Structures are given as structure tokens and as C-alpha cells.
Amino acid sequence: MKKQENNRLNLEKIFEKNGINIKTLAQVLENSEINSIVQIPLNDLIPNRFQPRIKFDETKLKEMADSIVKHGVITPIIVRQIQEGQYEIVTGERRYRASKLANKETIPAIIAEFNDKQMMELSLIENIQRENLTGIEEARSYEAMKQHLGYTQAQIAKEMGKPRSHVANLLRLLTLPEMVQQSILDEKISTGHAKLLVGLDDKEAVNLTNRIIRENLSVRDVEHILLLNQPNKKNKPVNNKTDVTKYNQLEEKLQTKLNHKQIRVDKKRIQIKFDSEEELVEFIERIQIKC
């Protein structure tokens, strides 16, 4: 029992070094068994399936790899065993990637027991709290919290310590065309630019995105362009908070009424997305629509 308590205290220190707060640690490790630090072959590790980060800064990875060559990996990564001889990374994917760049064969790790829900909570919540995700990565993280953890927008906002309008506005980025979303991921346009594109039809959004990139337009430039194209709305803010709140409330009402989370509402359309044909068929049957 004393050894288990010591392991837990050591893990708390390592989690703190990884930027993981003790509140989250207590929630996800309530019934977990924790082992001591071990060396695990890199070939036995797989990335975290719930990792919200899509892009990793290659320059910073190379800098970390150079440091690992000189000093090794100072802070162990956290993993869970998924089968004999194979482990999934809970936290520490950058150190794992940098260790591969440094041609290391093993990496120090702590093995702990996590279920999928706990893994997702750590990966999504903690990465968002570090505030260095792109707008799309953050938006997709919020969407995953809704889909897989059952959070409402209000719960996400409370958990993240963010205004609900911030969560709602980022989620609306997921209604943008794929080309625009990719431009945000690639940091060719900012989240501020993207928020102004929400509500345009897909062709307009893509065309304006290309213009932003080509002409290096600022957010203020884009606001001006949109106002010029809407002469009757010059006195109305581009992002009207009352309208945003109205659409957010309608979204949540529809999601609750239809028991389906992937519903988006804006001033021009209602979008209902499905992960599979079976999900679509089940949805149609549930709301008793005869085709």
C-alpha cells in the first residue's frame, strides 16, 4: 500500500511537469494501478488515438531531439498497456517523436491504467488548456468532447474556463469548407479571419480565403470587404453576438429534441452530419420520417 502511495505521489509530480493539473489527475486515476518508471522500446508504442493536436512543429521537435541526444529524456512519458508488448501514449507524444528523431531505442515511461474516457479527458482537456492549438484543432477537440464525453457547450465552457461564446464560435468553424479549415490548420489564415467567413456560402468562403492568403489581408481588411458587400448592414457588427446566441440555443434545442449531437445552425442553413449510413438510417427511423 505504501509503495502504491509513493508511486501515486511520484506520478503527481510527473503530471505537474507535463502541465497536467492535480484536479484532472485525481479524476482519471481514481481506481488506477500505477507502476514504476520503466524503459519501453519506441517500437512498442503507438500514438494516442485521442490526441487533438494534428500538427507538430518540426523545428521544435528537432530542438527537443538535439536535447535528448545530449541529456536523454528527463521526464517520463505516461502510457497504458493495450496488449502484451504494446503500449499507447497517454501524454508525451512530442518526447516520443523527438526520441525517434534522436534515434533512441527506448524511452522512460510510467505505465498506468486508463479507460478510453479517461484517455480522452486527458488528451482533450489538457491540450486545450495549454492554449497552443490552432482554432480548428481546438474546435475539433470541443466537438469530440460533445460527441464522446456527452458535454454540452455550457459544460465545455465551464470545464475549460472559457466564455460559452468562445466555445460556440469555434465550433462554428467546423461548418466551413475543408479547404478553409485546412488553411487554418496550416496557419495561412488566422482564427479571427475564419470567424468572419462563417455564414458565407462555401464558394464565397473559399474565394475570400484565397484572397486573404494571396493579398495578405488583415482581419480588419476582411471586415471592410464584408461590409462593402453588405451595404444595408453597415451599422451592424459582422459578428452579432445576439444572433450567435440565438443560433447556439437553437442548435442545442434541436440536438436535445432529435437526440443527435452533430447538428449545426447558422443564418443560412441547418447541417446534420452522420458518421455512417447506419447512423443516418437509425436517425430517420427515430424521428419517424418516411422516405
Catalytic residues: 93
d(CA 86, CA 145): 26
User: Please, which residues bridge with residue 66 across strands?
Assistant: none
Q: Which residues contact 213 (CB under 8 A, 6 or more apart)?
A: 183, 188, 189
d(CA 124, CA 101): 25
CA-CA-CA-CA torsion sign (152, 156, 159, 163): negative
d(CA 251, CA 262): 9
CA distances in angstroms from 179 to 125, 183, 210, 264, listed in the order given = 27, 6, 10, 19
Q: In what order do the strands lie in the sheet with 45-46?
A: 34-41, 106-112, 77-83, 86-91, 45-46
C-alpha of 45 from chain center: 22
d(CA 118, CA 102): 30
d(CA 157, CA 168): 9
d(CA 212, CA 208): 6
d(CA 78, CA 93): 9
